[in-house]
Structure 1
Amino acid sequence: KFEEMLKLSEKEKEKCLKVSSQAELELSRLCQQIFEMEGQLEGKDAEISNLRLEYNSVNDSYLELTSEIKDLKAILREHKKSHVDS
């Protein structure tokens, strides 16, 4: 009876070692996957930063052009007004 218990104990031990080994492999795989995803996120973060810079530059240009158009419209109005007055 004691030998049977030892055999069962050995089988349980082997089973636990196998499960533990599988868990370690899965943990290692998941850690690698997380590491890769962090790298991808850092890359996306850099892309977003670059897009923000580009957007700000385009927005600044748009604001400048809008201001210039307003100025040109004012000049045109003045020109038309002086042309009509003369």
Structure 2
Amino acid sequence: MTALLEVSGVTVSFDGFRAINNLTFSIGPAELRAIIGPNGAGKSTFMDIVTGKTRPDSGSVLFGDLSRSLLKMTEAQIARAG
């Protein structure tokens, strides 16, 4: 099965604070996932990466059947891609 969204090895730091450290997971076309955690766990930062607002220090984010890299797209391009 091809992943609808695949996040691999994503790390993000802000002024030395590591908000996300080596995040890896995938979501299939027929799956529903919830992102939960306490304040400061990196939930909003993760969503900012997926929507193109924040660029990770390392890792990849692939979307769709064609495995398009979201990291090479602008926020507007990501929104148009679905």
With the shorter chain as reference, the TM-score category is under 0.3
Q: TM-score scaled to structure 1, two decimals?
A: 0.20
**Whose helix fraction is larger, Structure 1's or Structure 2's?**
1
Bigger-Rg structure (1/2) = 1
Greater RCO, CA 8 A, separation 6+: 2
Q: TM-score scaled to structure 2, two decimals?
A: 0.21
